[in-house]
Chains A and B, each alone.
Chain A
Amino acid sequence: MKYEAVIGLEVHVELKTNTKLFCGCRNEFGKKPNTLVCPVCAGMPGTLPRLNKEAVNLAIKAGIGLNCKINKFSRFDRKNYYYPDLPKGYQTTQYEMPLCTDGYIDIGGRKIGIERIHLEEDAGKLIHEEDKTFVDFNRSGVPLIEIVSRPDIRSGEEAALYLKKLRGILLFTGVSDCKMNEGSMRVDVNVSVRPKGLSFFGAKTEIKNINSFQYTQEAIGYEINRHIELYENGKTPENETRRYDEKSKKTYTMRAKEDSSLYMYLPDTELVPLDISEEEIDEIRKKMPLLPEEREKMYVKEHGLSDFDCENILQEVHFAEYFEEAAKLSKDAKNSANLLITQIFSLLESDKVIKIKPLRLAEVSNLMTDEVINSSTAKKLLEKLWEEDFDVENYVKENKLFQINEKDVLSRYIDEAMEENQKIVDDYRKGKKKALKALTGIVMAKTRGRANPRLLNTLLNEKLG
């Protein structure tokens, strides 16, 4: 029998606002526990929520970026449950009337539907120390959006692709920094398997809190196979919540699936319903930055970049902005892109900050384009620029780093090299073509890396006959 997987993703993303969703506390990660707390986000008696408009606007931005319908009328509800990190005894969320509905993400030709995006608040965090448990409320009330896909995904690969696209859109719209390691992006997966062509849903397992896109893909792959195997053996999977273990690359039972109808939901009447005008939505639409897909099109069309280039540059917003800035100043933007990806990216540290001004990259790139320097000089210059900023042209002049483009000058270096390395010359003439590379290296070293590589290649070939 042929099987088909039915996969839906629920992604929680923390919004990049200055303050929390319902109070004035700063929305920051990694601060000392309980330093970003006020009576409102600590759920003190009599306090009332006050909606942060910035969060609403970011959620609308996400909705526009994900091709959703922005609902002019939406409402906040309370989801009631008891947990020590939940100060009010309920989470304020949007249950019945979410802000955005009916969107999609295009994952290379296939549209994955988005059922809804709703605004809600995050809970605090429990900290366990020996036999004690502490609660940190710094995260309590941080604004989240939950993006719920339709069950349109069919494989782990598609899920990873969907997540990558989603992350790109949320990053480039400034909605979230999507850092999975800091918990500002969290992925829950629903997987079921059914015989291909049938429309019923099989037993559904939920895998909670997966740490990376790679693991998501692996976990889904594992889960699909597990379901198929069970069906093949005449068994059915349980409806349950599982977790993915990254070491064994397997999923394990956590608990039976919660019945969502057991939660008590009711409208939060401390807040007035959201009433968003067409003008407000248009205003946000007008200010939408270029999304990764649009940027990719532009890079390919205007600068001749490859898919590989685009994928690398579009990993981070500041990479793209950096490239675009450098490209404006470059005679050959494709060359700048190459330098950025092969040279500069290899210098990056974990903070991913580029320590070279885009102008300098353009200057280096332009000197290459004008055949004033060659690529190995460019590499050295960029390494030097990483340490300190300087005027590239002056530096090249002062340190005589010009490329050797003169035939007679380069010939002299070649002759010298051939005389000193008779064995390599002989090897080459005996048919060892690799010897050419060795000679090229020797000449390059003699010229302190300044030889025009094309000219060097031509001359060497001539001389070696």
Chain B
Amino acid sequence: MPNRLSISECIKLLDNREIKVTELVNAYLREIENRDEEINAFITVTKDEALEKAEELDRKGKRISPLSGIPGGIKDNICTKNINTTCASKMLKDFVPKYSATVYERLLDNDFVMLGKLNMDEFAIGGGGEYSYFKPVKNPYNISHMAGGSSSGSAASVAAFECAFSLGTDTGGSILKPSSYCGVVGMKPTFGTVSRYGVVGFAPSLEQTGPITRTVLDNAIVLSKIAGHDEKDPCSIKRDLDFLQDIDKGLKGLKIAVPKELMDMDVIQRDVRKCYEKSFEIFKELGCQVDVVSMPSLQYSLSAYYAISSSESASTLARYDGIRYGHRTKEYSNIEELYEKTRGEGFGIDVKKRILFGTFLLVEKEKNYLDKARKARTILMNEYERLFKEYSIVLTPASPITAPAFGEKQSNALEKYYEDIFTTPINLCGIPALSMPVCKDSNGLPVGIILSARHYDEKTLYRFGHAFEAARGILK
């Protein structure tokens, strides 16, 4: 089963001509065919294009990049020229862009093989993977559980061996959380590392695109190929792309910070806490020092995140008005009605909630919610900065819970909201973070941790992750 191999293993086989690209691609396509009907990770499978590309690469023989011939999937909010890009929304269900996101072009330039477009929460808003207009994404470890979101298809497809890697996008944990629910490795790079041109977002000050893979090394390989300055994205940064540089250096003498405030939270499930604490032991065995530190401002991060992301979404999603493209209501007698009905019909419930909340914040000017949120953001950044002077990484659980079951009534909206407690500070501060599995809970669902580091220090995250992965062993 070549689709069970890691990217780094595939690279060796492809380099040595021990396997054909066509065989590799066929293995993945078979897996999609067999399994995706229940997982729902894909919205569009580009089977013919994938086979054609594989044959072309086999004919050519020459591998121009480590990613040459490696099959991957793309989250459906990343524009792919001439291929449906739906954002899992009724609003864009027939939208076919005439342009590509820079990050997709980079993959094409590296001769990757495109398998298709991955399911997600509508417009990347939502955390469970159940808010797709088309179908809910199911957790490959247990299909009665969610995959997490919003990059639900991206995480589930990799976990189900339907892709060697995938691209997801992360605004408030949308890569990190589903990766942990599905037991795979997800990276949210430093803000500005991967071009956002052509990525349909909703909160530009928070968003990044990143890879999801089955191993840490694979993840670093993919990031190396998609990162880099792009003049089409004003927030894109010129920086070192040294992600693989320290990956084998080991962890002797490095210091890890564990925020006391998060550890004390009673929303954390018992199994999650157990796995989290187990990760301390593994890191200590690898020669690290684990210190409990205080980050008092973490308590503001959820409110600040929701204020900023919602207000930005109210504005960013305004362009879906039925005038130029996308869904337009059938009957209307004036322009106001056209807007109301188009947007009323085109958007799902979670997107509407976010827009309404954001609009409320923008209209209620006297209360200064947004100013307060921005202040909290600055304070939080300062807190991280202070910590990273002494510590290489901050270690937290990926989520207080493991993947919830469908239909499981969450006791209240607030509990759902707390799912993002560990991820939102990362997006608010633009720092890089790696989500990876530690072990499984009593139901056999994966439990993950998140390592975050100072800006531009993905190489340290990969160093920690790689060592941890080797010590932890394969997740069984």
Could you list which residues of chain A lie within 8 angstroms of chain B, going by C-beta atoms?
Answer: 39, 42-51, 78, 80, 82, 84, 87-90, 135, 261-262, 264-266, 268-272
Whether B130 is near chain A, meaning CB under 8 Å from some CB there, is no
Complex CA distance for A265 and B92, rounded to whole angstroms: 26
CA distance in complex: A1, B325 (Å): 60
Contact of B97 among A45, A84, A261, A271 (CB under 8 A): A45
Please tell me if the beta carbons of B319 and A264 are within 8 angstroms of each other in the complex.
no
Q: Which residues of B contact A87 (CB under 8 A)?
A: 319, 323-324
Residue in A45, A84, A272 whose CB lies within 8 Å of B200: A45
A47-B197 in contact (CB<8A): yes
Given contact pairs A47-B198, A266-B370, enumerate 11 new A-B contacts (beta carbons under 8 Å).
A45-B92, A45-B97, A45-B325, A80-B362, A82-B318, A82-B321, A84-B321, A84-B335, A266-B315, A269-B235, A270-B235
> B310-342 vs A: 1/0 string, CB under 8 Å?
011011011111011100000000010001000
**CA gap between A50 and B234 in the complex, in Å:** 6
Contact with A along B168-204 (1 / 0, CB 8 A): 0000000000000000000000000000111111001
Q: What residue of chain B has the Cβ atom nearest to residue A49's Cβ?
A: B234
Cross-chain contact B339 with A43 (CB below 8 angstroms): no
- What are the residues of chain A within 8 A of B231 when measuring CB–CB? 50
Q: Which residue of B lies closest to A270 (CB)?
A: B204
**Is B208 engaged at the interface, CB distance under 8 Å to the other chain?**
no
Known: A46-B101, A80-B314, A82-B339. A270 touches B234 (CB 8 A): yes
Cβ-defined contact, A89 with B234, below 8 A: no
Instruction: Tell me the B residues contacting A by CB distance below 8 Å.
Output: 77-79, 85, 87, 92, 95, 97-99, 101, 196-201, 204-205, 231-235, 311-312, 314-315, 317-321, 323-325, 335, 339, 359, 362-363, 365, 370
On whether the beta carbons of A80 and B315 are closer than 8 Å, the reply is: yes
CB contact under 8 A between A272 and B99, given known A78-B315, A80-B318, A90-B315: no
Given A46-B77, A46-B199, A88-B318: A272 touches B324 (CB 8 Å cut-off) = no
Is B314 within 8 A of A264, CB to CB? yes
Q: Which 4 A-B pairs have the closest CB atoms?
A: A89-B318, A269-B205, A264-B362, A46-B200
Q: How far is the CA of A46 from the CA of B409 in the complex (A)?
A: 34
A43 to B314, CA, bound (A): 15
Given the complex of chains A and B, what is the CA–CA distance between A46 and B233 in angstroms?
11
B43 CB → nearest A CB, Å:
15
- Shortest distance in angstroms between B245's beta carbon and chain A's nearest beta carbon? 28
Contact A48 B197 (CB under 8 A): yes
Q: Which residues of B contact A262 (CB under 8 A)?
A: 363
With a cutoff of 8 Å between Cβ atoms, the chain B residues found around residue A266 in the complex are 311-312, 315, 362, 370
Q: Which residues of chain A are near B205, meaning CB under 8 Å?
A: 269
Q: How far is A45 from B363 in the complex, measured between Cα atoms in Å?
A: 25
Cross-chain contact A48 with B196 (CB below 8 angstroms): yes
In angstroms, how far is the closest chain B Cβ from the Cβ of A124? 10
Nearest chain B CB to A435 CB, angstrom units: 75
Query: What are 30 of the A-B contact pairs (CB < 8 Å)?
Result: A39-B97, A39-B99, A44-B97, A45-B85, A45-B92, A45-B319, A45-B325, A46-B79, A46-B85, A46-B97, A49-B234, A80-B315, A80-B318, A82-B318, A84-B335, A87-B319, A89-B315, A89-B318, A89-B319, A90-B318, A261-B365, A262-B363, A264-B362, A266-B311, A266-B312, A266-B315, A269-B204, A269-B235, A269-B312, A270-B234
Beyond A51-B234, A269-B205, whether A45 also contacts B359 by CB under 8 A is no
Q: Which residues of A contact B312 (CB under 8 A)?
A: 266, 269
Distance to closest chain A CB from B381 (angstroms): 15
**Known contacts being A39-B98, A87-B324, is A272 close to B234, with CB within 8 Å?**
yes
Cα A44 to Cα B77 with chains together (Å):
12
Q: What's the Cα separation between A49 and B319 when bound, in Å?
A: 14
A265, B234: Cα distance in complex, Å? 20
Which B residues are in CB contact (< 8 Å) with A80? 314-315, 318, 362
Bound Cα distance A78, B197 (Å) = 19
Question: B324–A264 contact, CB under 8 A?
Answer: no
**Which of chain A's residues have a CB closer than 8 A to the CB of B95?**
45
The reply to whether A89 and B92 contact each other, CB–CB distance below 8 Å, is no
Contact, CB under 8 Å: B235 / A272: yes
CA distance A49 to B199 in the complex (A): 13
Q: Which residue of chain A is the closest to B317 with respect to CB atoms?
A: A89
Report how far A135 CA is from B338 CA in the complex, Å: 15
Q: Complex formed: what's the CA distance from A410 to B235 in Å?
A: 82
B331 to chain A, nearest CB (A): 16
Cβ contact within 8 Å between B321 and A89: yes
* Distance (whole angstroms) from the CB of A373 to the closest CB of chain B: 61
